[in-house]
A and B are shown apart, each in its own frame.
Chain A
Amino acid sequence: MKNIFRISLLALFVGMVSCEDATDIIQESELSEDIAYQTVDDLRSGLIGVYAAYSPDAGGNGSGDSVLFNDLFTDNIKKGASSSGQGNTVYSFIVQPGTGFPNSIWNSRYAVINFANRVLRAWDRIYPTLETEDDREAAQEIKAQLLAMRGFMHFELLQYFAPSYTDLSQPGVIIMDFVPELQQVFPRSTVGEVFAFVDNDLEEAATLMGGTFDSFGAYAAEEDILYFVGPDAIKAMQARVALFEGNYTVAQTLAVELMQGHNLAVGQAYVDMFLSDDASIEEQIWTLSRRIGDNRIVALYAANGSGENGSPFFEISNSLFNLLSNNDVRRVVLVEGSSTFVGVDSPNNMLLIGKYQGSTDGAQINDLKIFRSSEMVLIKAECEARAGNLTAAANSIKTLRDARYVNPAPAPVYANLDAALNDVLLERRLEFAFEGHRYLDLKRLNRAINRNDADCGSFSAPCGLNAGDYRFTLPIPNSEISANPTIQQNPGY
């Protein structure tokens, strides 16, 4: 009896020690997917995270993403006065699987896709539980944006990593329409498959969004609508995709539709669009909002702001500067006021990049334009030229130039398609300098890089790259290869 008492006492002691509270610990700071996403507002905050993850303007001090790469690799940049060698490898056309740019472009686009797929997964769980029509409407418009972002990211990846846009059986990029398991790896789909996937995402997005962005009141004030992917942004994506696919009829139709509601900015309005980030200027179709704490785009080019004391390590190339006449309002925006011009192609020219001088949002804070109606005009011009209507193309070009020139110039006359495309390319160069287009334009139109000697001399770098060089397609980056040894590398690397 005494024994039993003693043993019971001991048993009680051992039993006091419980195990689960020591071995199954959930920290208070943990937020699981189920808890994170429960309502339409939660889904919207997930969508906000997707927007925030898309940053083609990321980088600084010589590294970066697509906004810097397009100009640095081509002919819009020369070495800056305060350079300590930033970017000279890439400027020298040395791009390898380990280079930062392909890694950044690949990794960050797939991160956006992954984020979007996670919210879409939660959407599928939450949508059936929604009880009001308003909630369902809001949810559909959230899904529309998620699909549009997912499709657009696949399209951007394809632009950089597919060797061809026309040979649909060539390798494209990995299609991700779900949240993968860690350590799973996937092959590249063909160009045709990726285009079909992108078209499908954008089409579904357009359908879900409908003609108007009804639930926008839940996002921001009405004038901020240009910062979100509404019906027009989806359409603009479709137009750009169609142009790359070679669906010129579709591209032209969409471009013309978009030109309706988005008049080109003329004169001071053009200047305000960049230097004041004036959101009311309707030329903008989709713009990435940048506020204090976000990327400072000028940091891609200079250490301490855009002025002469900003320690610029990149400047406007002489070849681009030489194309800018005083008659062109774009010069006011592109060339920062404290620039020094000594003489044509002089090595002492200090040509400061002025597109991102800061705004009312803050010193060094500027929005990033993704779609403007000027691009639609240029898509229209290109499609007209390709359809054989060279006069219409010339008139479209004139439309744009009329908006940009102080004193109007006569419409150009094109002898043939090639001449028309050259003029479109020239206008694209002036219009979209430092907005992430140049490399892709040269690639799509199969043109060579021909640098001004003063520019390539500033870096002691090669002055040209042949049209169709393998380096017009980026290498699949090391980040993918080291985890996915079976993935197919692009030719030449």
Chain B
Amino acid sequence: MRSKFTWIMTLLVALTINFSFAQEKVVSGTVSDELGPMPGTNVLVKGTQRSTQTDIDGKFSISASQGEVLEFSFVGYQSQEVTVGTQSTYNVVMAQGKQLIEVVKDVYRSVTPKKATMAVASITAEAIEDRANASVLQSLQGQIAGLNIGTGSGQPGADSTIILRGVGSISGNVEPLFVIDGIPVDEDGFRSLNQMDIANVQVYKDAAATSIYGNRGANGVIVITTKRGSLDQKMQFRYTSQFGYSELQPLNMELMNSSELLNFQSRVGEGLGSELTQAERDLLARQNNTYWSDIFFRKGVTQSHNLAITTGSKTTTNFTSLGYFEQDGIFMNTNFKRFSVRNNFTGKSENGKFNYSFNFNGNFSRSNGVDGAGSNAIYFAPFRAALHGLPYLSPYDPDGSITSTGGMVYGDPGSISPDKAPYVLLNSVKMNTDVEDEIKILSSFSADWNFAKNLTAGFQMGIDYSGFRTLEILHPNSLLGPYQVEGTDGNNYAEFGGVQAESHSRDFRFNSVTRLNYNNIFAEKHTIDATLFVEYNKAHLDGISFSQRGLDPRLVGTGAAFISGTVVEGDGQPYIPTLGSTKVSEGLFSYFANFDYDFESRFGLTATIRRDASFRFIDDNKWGTFWSVGGRWNIDQEEFFKSKFPATELKIRASYGTSGNQRINNAQYSALNLTRSLYGQGGNYNGSVGTVPTQIGYTDLRWEETAQTNVGVDFGFWNNKLSGSVDVYRKRTSDLFQSTPVSPVNATTSIDTNIGNMENKGVELTLKYTVYNKNGWNVVLNGNTSYNKNFIRDLPDSYNGLVFNGGSTSLIEGEAINTFYIVRYAGVNPSNGNALFYTADGGLTETLDDSDRINTGKSSYPAWQGGFGTLVTYKGFEFSTQWSYFADLYRNNLDYAELEETSVIDDGSNRVSSTATAWQNVGDITSVPRVNNPLGAVDYINFTDRYLEDASFLRLRNVLLGYSFSKETLQDLPISGLRFFVQGENLITFSSYRGWDAEAGFRTTDRGNYPTPKIYTLGAVINF
């Protein structure tokens, strides 16, 4: 492999020798607007990667050669360009009222939006740093067209599912690549990231943008840049704090109260209500009418503190931040804490030819949670218990406190029955432990050296380290504790109960990029920027785990409590622990080139080509070649256009390109060696250990490839009073990794191969409209929307266009992934109260049969997604709203199905009010089948569309009211800035979905999950 670099080196030598050395100098100056200095303005040497930001006094300093052009840009201001001449000081006055302009800067290149040929959307710090979500990703929902953020749990810091421009793979990874300060990072580790550190988030959508990330860019790329200091800046402090509460969203369904449930049970002759007289039922209903979610859920506290220190000398800048975040979950005994520290340092040589930066970010987070979301094991499903608990059970002990046993007898399995599930869960949640700790370290170093005229060499390396520890203890003295160890002495259970399961793992990922850049302007018209790269990636995961059954109740917490595996009870040893140990590695290697060309800022061309090798593939399939071409035409730079439409900006972009997905199996560190046949110990017989094949290798495995076409228009009318962009795209994934049948003579019936293809096509629109901008008022509306159609173009031939493996969804050619494939529910037969279904050809039947399933065309992934908001500022006041929505997505509502269950009544679960309309007499017209009908909730979910619900929603994701004190007010105080705000998350949701939360992370079926909360906080920002 090393020899393949020979040509790169040859090229490098050839390029270098032809050019003499540059005459670069440091230029500096001040950027201001009509009100005064403008801190944070981006300063870019056009056509290069050199950029900086102005400090708090609006000062900047950057190295540039005579003839190079400095570009100044700031959000909401018109950008300015200045050509560097003989002087070294340039003072620039920025004019307000132009569109959002930022520098598009990724790991590999930086370019201004006007010159970008790529489809890129971005969000700045203001849009996220005030938000009260533990994971910054949740704050991105609804802010970028085409970016779906689905959060399926209300546990603070819960991981979100992120899908950009539709699902692009059946088995493989579907989430975008995340890059923080140049380091590709684990997309699931965002709870550990402090959002206060983020300067900017950019979302790369089309092939021109993502192809340069070839080996991992097929699902898009999200580039996060953290804050930095500025040169020549006095030391500054910024303290931010928030305090607030979170609470449960309202339940969108009507549960029975005690009286309704007891009387219903009496009417149908089942359950406790049927054994009581009317007077007894009335008495019980008066005594107890428990709304169990009030018992399990609570008001949680959120608080955060953050201190940032920035400073800069002539040649160095530094940004240091310390953060603490703590948020209680709304479910009892759940919470999340995070400590974080960051230091971003930059330095440069006196002549500005050598620049380097070093970032370090260390985080520790602890998440106390509860397991059992979505579980069907009723004694281990806490959220289900909160929804399903019987209202006529009292949650109190005789002394008036919330009970932890419900009067059940410890150690008597007979006292545990399904109706007591809420008591069991209250007990478990109080006594058991479920902790996840994460130590996350992100660190990167980068340097570039302008070693010859027009030539810059760069190197960058980064690490992403995560140390995980999970600890779960099922306390031996909890109600379920005694039943955790199977007996070996003739008793059902061993003497000691309880379980402690613990795991530790370390995940270390390393990335390095070496590059050589050539940049030049010919004849003052042609700008050329060409770069060669070599990239290396390696990742290692190792870990150990154990599960000990049998704990001494006096010592629970550490190994001191473990009953030894050698203890004999009766014939056997019941306390032998199970152990695990893993160690795996991944690796990627690439070399690639990028070429940018600009002609008089009117036309531009970007081309990328890369060769990537993945450790997952072998021989000819190891290397994938990916490329892209993008072009733009800045029509507004043309004379004929300028003269006719002077206040209009218009740019047309088009791109086509390919990118690869080598993470053909979605799980991290999986599909590590599918090309090889492997053996392992197993297949034990008569007490001897066997050796058996564990995997049949498939040598022809290869990259999934995504080819994307994108056409976009960026526009600004009336001096950018209205600005925005429109993009249409088509994304086609070929060589899809999926299961294909093989003859059983191979000792297996299917293997995963690259076969079939899938398509996403859609349109995205982003708009921003400044409604009013006078007299100190500024009123801005913004909105984005996207439509994506996902469909499978081709499945393995032998499946005849449909892969159905039971359940409610299947893969169907021509339809979206996760399309519901079910029998249509036709209501209740008035003559006998049984459920009726439509047969495939439209007749009626009472029997569920797979052959009557039809393609509904409904999927669990949304077709429509977007958001809109307003921002109003007046003097120091600001008021903003941000709405988000998903539409045209469907979900099976198993919670509701179980709460409307009529096949059994006495199952220990409450019912929704509509259950009382169950069929009773011949001729009854109702939608609820008779009591004791043969089909249960799970039958309806797996087979029918009875509980298939539209999960579209519109949500007021965030609303914020803030006030910043003016400088004059503060002049006698030792502080330079002060701002207060109140804000709320998820305050209002409009959805027809029946449950706590319409948002569920694109699950197909929902039962007993942790709903996302409403969060209100009060915040303060102090600068000094």
Chain A residues in contact with chain B, CB under 8 A?
Answer: 3, 6-7, 10-11, 13-15, 17-33, 36-37, 42, 45-53, 106-107, 110-111, 113-115, 118, 174, 176, 180, 182-186, 219-220, 224, 227-228, 289, 291, 293, 477, 479-480, 482-485
**Nearest-Cβ distance from residue A125 to partner chain B, whole angstroms:** 14
Contacting pair B749 A479 (CB below 8 A): yes
Q: List 14 A-B contacts (CB under 8 A).
A: A10-B516, A11-B12, A25-B587, A25-B672, A26-B673, A49-B682, A52-B682, A107-B749, A110-B745, A114-B693, A115-B692, A183-B742, A480-B743, A483-B742
**Nearest-Cβ distance from residue B328 to partner chain A, whole angstroms:** 41
Closest residue of A by beta carbon distance from B749: A479
Given A25-B587, A45-B681, A45-B691, the answer on whether A19 and B1 have CB atoms closer than 8 Å is yes
Closest residue of B by beta carbon distance from A175: B745
Q: Which residues of A contact B744 (CB under 8 A)?
A: 106-107, 110-111, 477, 479-480, 483
Max chain B C-beta neighbours (<10 A), residue from A3, A186, A482: A482
Q: Which residues of B contact A52 (CB under 8 A)?
A: 682-685, 690, 692
**Alpha-carbon separation in the docked complex, A32 to B708 (Å):** 39
> Contact partner of B679 among A33, A47, A113, A482, CB < 8 A?
A33
- Identify which of residues 672-699 in chain B touch chain A, using a CB-to-CB cut-off of 8 Å: 672-673, 676-694, 696-698
Among B530-538, B640-648, B885-893, the stretch that binds chain A is: B530-538
Contacting pair A19 B798 (CB below 8 A): no
Chain B residues in contact with chain A, CB under 8 A?
Answer: 1-2, 4-5, 8-9, 12-13, 16-17, 451-452, 457, 459, 512, 514, 516, 534, 536-538, 582-589, 613-615, 622, 672-673, 676-694, 696-698, 741-749, 751, 798-799
Contacting pair B459 A13 (CB below 8 A): yes
- List 4 additional A-B contacts (Cβ < 8 Å) besides A6-B16, A27-B672, A32-B679: A15-B2, A48-B690, A52-B685, A484-B743
- In the A-B complex, list the 9 residue pairs whose CB atoms are closest, starting with the nearest: A22-B587, A49-B690, A19-B1, A48-B690, A49-B683, A114-B747, A52-B683, A49-B692, A289-B686
Contacting pair A482 B751 (CB below 8 A): no
Contacting pair B798 A482 (CB below 8 A): yes
Closest residue of A by beta carbon distance from B694: A31
> Contact partner of A23 among B2, B582, B587, CB < 8 A?
B587
Contacting pair A25 B586 (CB below 8 A): yes
Given A11-B9, A52-B683, the answer on whether A27 and B1 have CB atoms closer than 8 Å is no
**Alpha-carbon separation in the docked complex, A224 to B688 (Å):** 12
Q: Which residues of B contact A10 (CB under 8 A)?
A: 12, 451, 457, 516
Contacting pair A46 B676 (CB below 8 A): no
Contacting pair B743 A180 (CB below 8 A): yes
**Alpha-carbon separation in the docked complex, A477 to B744 (Å):** 10
Contacting pair B514 A28 (CB below 8 A): no
Given A3-B17, A17-B536, A23-B589, the answer on whether A180 and B690 have CB atoms closer than 8 Å is no
Given A7-B12, A15-B5, A115-B692, the answer on whether A483 and B613 have CB atoms closer than 8 Å is no
Contacting pair A42 B691 (CB below 8 A): yes
**Nearest-Cβ distance from residue A466 to partner chain B, whole angstroms:** 27
**Alpha-carbon separation in the docked complex, A28 to B692 (Å):** 18
**Alpha-carbon separation in the docked complex, A6 to B13 (Å):** 10
> Contact partner of B585 among A27, A106, A180, A293, CB < 8 A?
A27
**Nearest-Cβ distance from residue B483 to partner chain A, whole angstroms:** 15
Given A23-B588, A48-B688, the answer on whether A110 and B615 have CB atoms closer than 8 Å is no
Contacting pair B798 A22 (CB below 8 A): no
Contacting pair B747 A110 (CB below 8 A): yes
Closest residue of B by beta carbon distance from A174: B745
Contacting pair B538 A21 (CB below 8 A): yes
Given A10-B12, A14-B5, A26-B673, the answer on whether A113 and B691 have CB atoms closer than 8 Å is no
**Nearest-Cβ distance from residue B617 to partner chain A, whole angstroms:** 9
Q: Which residues of B contact A113 (CB under 8 A)?
A: 745
**Alpha-carbon separation in the docked complex, A30 to B12 (Å):** 41
**Alpha-carbon separation in the docked complex, A237 to B1023 (Å):** 89
**Alpha-carbon separation in the docked complex, A443 to B149 (Å):** 60
**Alpha-carbon separation in the docked complex, A32 to B677 (Å):** 7
> Contact partner of B690 among A33, A51, A477, CB < 8 A?
A51
**Alpha-carbon separation in the docked complex, A102 to B742 (Å):** 16
> Contact partner of A14 among B1, B534, B584, CB < 8 A?
B534
Given A14-B9, A23-B614, the answer on whether A180 and B746 have CB atoms closer than 8 Å is yes
> Contact partner of B615 among A22, A174, A483, CB < 8 A?
A22
Contacting pair A31 B798 (CB below 8 A): no
> Contact partner of B691 among A28, A49, A107, CB < 8 A?
A49
Closest residue of A by beta carbon distance from B461: A17
**Alpha-carbon separation in the docked complex, A110 to B693 (Å):** 13
Contacting pair B585 A25 (CB below 8 A): yes
**Alpha-carbon separation in the docked complex, A31 to B679 (Å):** 5
Contacting pair A48 B678 (CB below 8 A): no
Contacting pair A45 B686 (CB below 8 A): no
**Nearest-Cβ distance from residue A298 to partner chain B, whole angstroms:** 17
Contacting pair B678 A32 (CB below 8 A): yes
Max chain B C-beta neighbours (<10 A), residue from A28, A29, A291: A29
Max chain B C-beta neighbours (<10 A), residue from A21, A22, A27: A22
Contacting pair B746 A114 (CB below 8 A): yes
Contacting pair A3 B452 (CB below 8 A): yes
**Alpha-carbon separation in the docked complex, A22 to B673 (Å):** 14
Closest residue of A by beta carbon distance from B542: A28
**Alpha-carbon separation in the docked complex, A485 to B796 (Å):** 13
**Alpha-carbon separation in the docked complex, A228 to B8 (Å):** 64
**Nearest-Cβ distance from residue A363 to partner chain B, whole angstroms:** 10
**Nearest-Cβ distance from residue B692 to partner chain A, whole angstroms:** 4
**Alpha-carbon separation in the docked complex, A7 to B10 (Å):** 11
**Alpha-carbon separation in the docked complex, A386 to B998 (Å):** 74
**Alpha-carbon separation in the docked complex, A150 to B622 (Å):** 37
Max chain A C-beta neighbours (<10 A), residue from B615, B679, B681, B798: B679
Q: Which residues of A contact B684 (CB under 8 A)?
A: 48, 52, 293
**Alpha-carbon separation in the docked complex, A174 to B697 (Å):** 22
> Contact partner of B680 among A31, A107, A174, CB < 8 A?
A31
**Nearest-Cβ distance from residue A234 to partner chain B, whole angstroms:** 18
> Contact partner of A45 among B459, B589, B690, B742, CB < 8 A?
B690
> Contact partner of B1 among A20, A45, A51, A228, CB < 8 A?
A20
**Alpha-carbon separation in the docked complex, A7 to B566 (Å):** 66
Contacting pair A23 B685 (CB below 8 A): no
**Alpha-carbon separation in the docked complex, A174 to B677 (Å):** 23
Contacting pair B690 A182 (CB below 8 A): no
Closest residue of A by beta carbon distance from B510: A22
**Alpha-carbon separation in the docked complex, A118 to B746 (Å):** 11
Closest residue of A by beta carbon distance from B799: A482
Contacting pair A13 B585 (CB below 8 A): no
Q: Which residues of A contact B745 (CB under 8 A)?
A: 110, 113-114, 174, 176, 180, 186
Q: Which residues of A contact B582 (CB under 8 A)?
A: 29
Closest residue of B by beta carbon distance from A293: B684
Q: Which residues of A contact B613 (CB under 8 A)?
A: 19, 22-23
**Alpha-carbon separation in the docked complex, A42 to B680 (Å):** 11
**Nearest-Cβ distance from residue A55 to partner chain B, whole angstroms:** 10
Contacting pair B8 A22 (CB below 8 A): no
Given A25-B586, A180-B746, A184-B743, the answer on whether A17 and B534 have CB atoms closer than 8 Å is yes
**Alpha-carbon separation in the docked complex, A289 to B687 (Å):** 9
**Alpha-carbon separation in the docked complex, A215 to B614 (Å):** 47
Q: Which residues of B contact A484 (CB under 8 A)?
A: 743
Closest residue of A by beta carbon distance from B513: A17
**Nearest-Cβ distance from residue B615 to partner chain A, whole angstroms:** 4
**Alpha-carbon separation in the docked complex, A21 to B688 (Å):** 37
**Alpha-carbon separation in the docked complex, A29 to B680 (Å):** 9
**Alpha-carbon separation in the docked complex, A51 to B584 (Å):** 31
Q: Which residues of B contact A20 (CB under 8 A)?
A: 1
**Alpha-carbon separation in the docked complex, A185 to B798 (Å):** 14
> Contact partner of B743 among A22, A115, A186, A291, CB < 8 A?
A186
Contacting pair B688 A37 (CB below 8 A): no
> Contact partner of A22 among B538, B680, B748, CB < 8 A?
B538
Q: Which residues of A contact B672 (CB under 8 A)?
A: 25, 27
**Alpha-carbon separation in the docked complex, A484 to B745 (Å):** 11
Contacting pair A53 B743 (CB below 8 A): no
Contacting pair A185 B743 (CB below 8 A): yes
